[in-house]
Each structure stands twice: as C-alpha cells, then as structure tokens.
A and B are shown apart, each in its own frame.
Chain A
Amino acid sequence: MTDEQCKKLEESFTKIINDLDILEKIDTTNVKAAYWPFENPITLREDSDVELMDKKILIENSINDGMYVTIEKVVK
C-alpha cells in the first residue's frame, strides 16, 4: 500500500469511527431482544452423514481437478 493510500485509509477510518460514536447517544437500556428483522425461523438442512474419505485421496483428486488444496491448519 502506498503512503497516499495509507493516508486516505486513515482519514476514512477516523471519520467513520467518529460517526459510529453517534450510536452512544442512543439509550438502549431497555433493549433486550436480538436484532433479527422479524420472526423468521431458520430451517436447517437435514444433510445425510458425510462419508469420510482418506485425506490422501482427497488431495490427489483436488490436484487432478486443478482445484486449490484446503489447508486446515498452519503449523509453524
């Protein structure tokens, strides 16, 4: 990031954080409910059990398909 980009980012950041302080003026003492727009029950999909595959096969298939390999954890 260039110095100019950094400066612009800093200015925008400061302005927006100042704007967010408007929220502090509002009394929310008696607000107990969550913010979800309305009663809309979330229906979870009933997926069948996932068949576990050998990790070596998964990686080989991924490479063959030209897909990215997912790194689940980085160990330093």
Chain B
Amino acid sequence: MKSIKEIHNTIKGNKMYNHYSSLLNITKNVDGIFSGKTIAVKDNIWVAKHACEASSKTLKGFIAPNNATVVDKLLEKGITIVGKTNMDEFGMGGTGLYSCNGIIVNALDNKRIAGGSSSGSAVTTALGEVDYSFGTDTGDSIRKPASYNGIVGVKPTYSLLSRNGVMAYDPSYDTVGFFTKNVIDSAKLVEATMGHDPKDCTSATRQSNLNTAILNGSVKNIKIAIINEIYEQYSEKYKLQFDQLVLRLKSEGANIEYVNFGKELLEAIYPTYQAITFATASSQLAAMDGVNFGHRENGETYEKIMFNTRSESFGDYIMMRQTIGSYILHEENQERYLHKAKKVRRLIIERVQNIFSNFHATLNIAAEIAPLISDVKDGKGSHVKYVDHLQIANHCGTPSITVPLGKVDNMPFSVEVMTNIFDEQQMYNLALFIENYVRREQ
C-alpha cells in the first residue's frame, strides 16, 4: 500500500478532475479483511467529526457528529478513509455539473461528464487513486457514472445496507453502494456492510443470500431476460459487442430470451422517478431554511432570512427540482402527479416481479458512453430513448450492478445485471462471468 501522503499527493496532482472536497486519513488500528485498503467516501455520508456538505453551500461548515453505520463497519475491518468526494448537490443531478465546488470531469476524457451524482467517487476509483469508493444510488447515481468511467458500480437491494448517517434525498429510493475495479471486491464490500441496523428504521430484517466465498461465475442453467425495447435502441457499435457476450453466455449453458417490458411503462420510468423524488426532496430540504438548520443569510424577517438563505445557498438545478416538487405537493396536484406516480411505480414493480417469476436475472446495455460536457450544457439529448432504464432497479428495490463490457469511440460502456430482491449471489455470479469473459477477450 502506498503511504497516505503519497495517495494525497497523487490526488492533489489530479486536481483538474475536481473530484475531492476534503482529504482525510482515518483508520482504526485493527486487522481485518480490508487492512491496507483505501476508500473514498461520497460527501453525503457521515465521517465522524469531519465536514459533510453534500457539495451544497447550505451545508458549509456542517460537521458530522458520528460515523455512518456503513463507514463504521468498514473501519472495523481495517480500511483507511482517504477523503470525501465531490458530488452533484444533495445527490441531485446525473452529470457531475451541479456541485457547489465546480464541475467534476470524466477520469478518461476531461471533455466528457463524469456522470453523477456520485461523480467524484467514480473518478477517484477509475483513476486508481483508491481501491474503492462509497456512493449512493437514488436513480442510477452509482451505476451510470461507473459505466461512464469504466469501472464496476453496484446498487444492492434497497434497505440491505444501513442508511444511518447518510443524508437523505428520497428515503424510499436511496441506497448505499460501491465503486470498485472488479466484481469480487464489490461483493466483499457489500457482504461486509450488509445487515440489519436498529438505527435505521427502514433497514431490512431479511438477509441477502450473498456469500463471496462460493462465488464461481458459473452461468449454467441461469435464465436471463434481455429487454427488447432497451436492446433495440442502441446502435450496432454497442449491439455487436453485446451480442458476442450473449453468444458466450449461451455456449456456457445460460438460457436467454428477449422479452418486451412495455413501451408505455418504459417511457414512464423517469417521469415516475421525477414526480416521487422531487416531491420528497422538496419536503426533505425544507429544513434548510437558515433558521432551524443549515447556513444562514441575513434578513429582517423570518421570511426574508429563509428567502435569502435558500436563494443564495441552493444551486439552480436543485432549486428547479424543489420548485417542481412543491408544485407536485400542492393539494390540487397531488392526485394528478404524486399519487398517480406511486401507482405507476407499483405497475413497474409488478412488471419486474413478473419477469423474475420466469427468469433469474435481466441483462441489458447499461448506457451509451459518457456524453461531452458541451453537449449536456447545450441540452443535446441522448441518442437512445429509454435513457433512464437503470432506474427500474431503484423503483423496484432490486439489486443491480454495471460491469464494463467494451468500448465505443475509445470510451467504455457497461452492461447491467439485475436480479430479484436479496438475490445478490446470482447477480454477482453473472457479473463475475461477464468480467472473466471481458478479460479473456482482451
């Protein structure tokens, strides 16, 4: 292991990526499976007695009173924390362009977005500065940046990992996960941090079947569904590489079928996410009024303090989401947008459960390569229609992992494996097969 000073110097030398908000050197003198390993922590996860600002001006100066449970669990197993990473403000964004600390750029091409909201965490692991990094995934915030930066990103089953000490965006979606260089490390981190936590009232009492000791990458007799509408939207450059993987899976004994998800439901994935999470976020962030909580601007009255504080502290993007969230929460709009979205979410969940009644896993191209920053700023859309399909796993609480498959225009892209809730073992077995396949092909 490099010394912490060497690691910090490397990070400082890479400051053009703007991926860190603070550098730390925290470890416990214990021997464990992560002794000698380093991790970076997304800046919405508490590390005791250190700043935790979620890349928002409104939280400047906030010091976390204690460790998040997931942080504690890894410290107890010997890991060293090297710093906190920049992110889209409060986890809202998907690009790395919305941090109060500036734009975070892609590890492989600084003209492209890093993806978000766990942008800095993705970049630091992709650059090899740390062994692993923490992220949170509310609507693909780990898996898409992982795909954009050519590394492994996992969102475990909802509620499998404690969210005690993790700043909320939408508590019915937020999930803690990891960026790693390989699949086995990802599985080890989830295994080390999962489990019921009485400090998080939504923490699952049911256990995952994950056991890294017996992961073998076997796909014999696994039934895999590929969603037709998602597959069809990608260009031949992606499909050809994906098709090669499918052929190999079949030759190793996997049963693969193409299934229709339903275009209406796929189109509704992002609007459903928007309606529910924007409304929840506007409610969550109401506390940041400069009076009860958070950074405070001056004002003559209570209202003016709130107005000045919120206008000055929040970025444009997060203000837009809160404005829409407040609009959705108006009594006359709740039935039309919020309640409707909750029902549509239920339909999405039922569709996925229906697929898992016949299949062990779904396999899809995760996303196109990272777009150019200039294109995103100019509002140029993606070439694919169902660009947010990774959010299916967020709606359903199912575990999902993205594993690098190949390159297009010299930039990496990944495939996504999703399995039924608490079936991390199947997800990691298939992911391990894909990783081994890619290594052999290279």
Contact surface of A with B, Cβ cutoff 8 Å = 1, 5, 8-9, 12-13, 16-17, 19-20, 22-26, 28, 31, 33-38, 40-45, 68, 70-71, 74
Q: Please, which residues of chain B bring their CB within 8 A of the CB of A31?
A: 343, 346-347
> Besides A28-B340, A37-B421, 5 other CB < 8 A contacts?
A9-B323, A17-B324, A20-B275, A23-B268, A37-B158
Q: Would you call the interface of chain A mostly helix, strand, loop, or mixed?
A: loop
* B303, closest chain A residue (CB): A74
Contact A33 B264 (CB under 8 A): no
Q: Complex formed: what's the CA distance from A41 to B196 in Å? A: 12
The yes or no answer to B198 lying at the interface (CB within 8 A) is: yes
Q: Which residues of chain B have a CB within 8 Å of any CB of chain A?
A: 158-159, 172, 198-199, 201-206, 264-265, 267-268, 270-272, 274-276, 278, 291-293, 296, 302, 311, 316, 319-320, 323-324, 327-328, 336-337, 340-347, 349, 395-397, 421
| Assembled-state Cα–Cα distance A37/B272 (Å) | 14
A16 to B282 CA separation, bound complex (whole angstroms): 15
Q: List 26 A-B contacts (CB under 8 A).
A: A1-B311, A9-B316, A9-B319, A12-B320, A13-B327, A16-B320, A20-B341, A22-B268, A23-B271, A23-B275, A23-B341, A26-B347, A28-B347, A31-B343, A31-B346, A33-B346, A34-B342, A34-B346, A35-B172, A35-B343, A35-B349, A38-B396, A38-B421, A40-B204, A44-B201, A68-B292
Q: Cβ of A20: which chain B residues have Cβ within 8 Å of it?
A: 271, 274-275, 328, 337, 341
Q: In the assembled complex, which residues on chain B have CB atoms less than 8 Å from the CB atom of A5?
A: 316
- Chain B proximity of A68: nearest CB distance (Å): 7
- Closest Cβ of chain B to A4, distance in Å, is 10
Closest chain A CB from B79 CB (angstroms) = 28
**B266 CB → nearest A CB, Å:** 10
The residue from A23, A37, A42, A74 contacting B344, defined by CB atoms under 8 A apart: A23
With A19-B270, A37-B421: A43-B201 Cβ-Cβ less than 8 Å = yes
Cα distance A1–B313 when bound, in Å?
Answer: 12
B158 / chain A contacts, CB cutoff of 8 Å: 37-38, 40
B159 touches A22 (CB 8 A): no
With contacts A12-B320, A43-B205, A68-B293 taken as known, whether A74 is within 8 angstroms of B302 at the C-beta atoms is yes
